[in-house]
Amino acid sequence: MAGTAGKALNLKLKVWRQAGPDKEGRFVEYEARNISSDASFLEMLDVINVDLVKSGQEPIEFDHDCREGICGSCSMVINGSPHGPDRGTATCQLHMRRFRDGETIVIEPFRAKAFPIVKDLAVDRSAFDRIMQVGGFISVNTGNAPDANSLPVPKENADMAFAAATCIGCGACVAACKNASASLFVSAKLAHLALLPQGQAEREQRTLSMVAQMDEEGFGACTNTGACSAACPKEIDLENIARMNRDYFKASLRERSEKS
């Protein structure tokens, strides 16, 4: 079926509209008519927005940029699932062929205390950057590096580190968690660096600092239900959380024994 042209769909949307963080929000219904099944979900919203603008109304605001599942900007809960129904897919990669003609689609922002709503479907995820700035790095100034091949890394570790490093920082894990925990995000960063020889020197301090900042930002506790990994567009592994907990335990024991 080399590229059948898309079918036309008519849909009903219930979209969360909220003018600002302290304003009251509500669902507003829209008709989406004649949407091609080959269009992406965000292109469907673009079509609605052009109509809204032309009729003098404010368009539905949402974060987006790359539209290819890599920048981590897009962030919506679609029919109850962060990033919608498909596994391993960011909102921007979702296509309308996934929906049935006549269906009602409910669209909400990611909801979490640490992610205040900015406007409509856009939320403030700067808490993630603040977690990164306390330890999500290897301290090496520009110009201090040895030859890249002077430090072989077993392929298996390199591959696991890469898998953890593919996190796009979208926050769907937080939105999916009933406690709004950021454990999957934080553990993915920690695992990426902990799996590499370069990351060892600061491993314990990094774990302690990032976990402490995560708590400070108001993210909830992890109870290991795994909703995060199921919603994650990059299918980041839950194993990373177990690794973070082990490292945290070890590091805090040492910290305590050093203090006493």
Cα 194 to Cα 127, 136, 170, distances in angstroms: 22, 11, 22
Interaction of residue 69 with ligand FES, rule CB under 6 A: yes
Interaction of residue 56 with other proteins, rule CB under 8 A: yes
The entry of other proteins, ligand SF4, ligand FES, none near residue 171 (CB within 5 to 8 angstroms by kind) is ligand SF4
- What distance in Å separates the CA atoms of residue 245 and residue 237, rounded to the nearest whole number? 14
Q: Which is nearer to ligand FES, 64 or 119 (CB)?
A: 64
Q: Which is nearer to other proteins, 106 or 134 (CB)?
A: 134
Cα 247 to Cα 45, 102, 103, 197, distances in angstroms: 43, 50, 46, 15
Interaction of residue 89 with ligand FES, rule CB under 6 A: no
3-state secondary structure of 252: helix
Interaction of residue 215 with other proteins, rule CB under 8 A: no
Q: Which is nearer to ligand SF4, 47 or 70 (CB)?
A: 70
Q: In this chain, which of 11, 72, 182, 244 binds ligand FES, going by CB under 6 A?
A: 72
Task: For the CB of residue 209, give the shortest distance to ligand FES in the complex, in Å.
Answer: 27
Pairing of strands 8-18, 117-119: unpaired
The entry of ligand SF4, other proteins, ligand FES, none near residue 188 (CB within 5 to 8 angstroms by kind) is ligand SF4
Single out the residue of 202, 200, 187 nearest to residue 151, CA to CA: 200
Q: Are 210 and 131 in contact (CB under 8 A)?
A: yes
Interaction of residue 74 with ligand FES, rule CB under 6 A: yes
